[in-house]
Structure 1
């Protein structure tokens, strides 16, 4: 069983879904504009929404990478996933399944040392 996502992991999951949803809206808008030639409204609305969602995703991905200690490779994959349409969805599922959205175990420097009575001078 995979550990429950941390608060940072849950925020990342929501933003990844938002980024993918706005990508889908933009794709539909581009279909309506360039294929059916019916309206440009979808591109106008979802272009702006997706631009904002993309920027938020990048910031949240970097924050999550630092807080959840993903490492360079996972961080680069998370950032690259925002470029092709809808790839943030399978990425989020993979991160959740592998436990990368949960709080990392404390490292050796973060573990409180046993109390040692040091001689006072």
Structure 2
């Protein structure tokens, strides 16, 4: 999976997607229901790091594989939706 730009992008996308779900599904309930704001601070910081890595990997795979503008926009939008990265990964797996 790590041998190509697309493989690295898929891996980072999965990690970023998991961090997003942890932020939304675990850290935010801990903050708002159990008054534990440190969870959002930690999970949010990690998610921010993974999101930046995702954007860098998206730029790299775009240049390497000459992706169209619409495909890049679709990959970006997928990163904003819960479970979007997992749907994108399933489609990219067929391409790889």
| TM-score, structure 2 normalization | 0.88
User: Is residue 68 of structure 1 aligned with residue 40 of structure 2?
Assistant: no
Cα pair 1:5 1:96 within 8 Å, conserved: no
Structure 1: give runs of 5+ residues left out of the alignment. Answer: 103-121
Equivalent residue pairs, number: 95
Q: From the CA coordinates, give the structure whose radius of gyration is larger.
A: 1
Alignment root-mean-square deviation, CA: 1.8
Q: Which residue of 1 aligns with 2:44?
A: 47
- CA gap of 1:93–1:5, structure 2 versus 1, over 3 A, is farther
Displacement of 1:80 after TM fit? 1.4
Gaps of 5+ in 2: none
- Residue in 2 that maps onto 1:29: 27
2:60 is paired with a residue of what secondary structure? Answer: helix
Q: How does 1:1-121 map to 2 (within 5 A)?
A: 7-27=4-24, 28-34=26-32, 36-97=33-94, 99=95, 102=96
Q: TM-score, normalised by structure 1?
A: 0.71
1:14 CA drift (Å): 0.8
| Structure 1 residue 66: Cα displacement | 1.5
* Structure number with higher helix proportion: 2
For residues 77-103 of structure 1, give each alpha carbon's deviation from its aligned partner in whole angstroms, at most 9, with x where no partner exists.
011111122311110111221x1xx4x
CA 1:5 to 1:14, structure 2 compared with 1: closer, same or farther past 3 Å?
Answer: closer
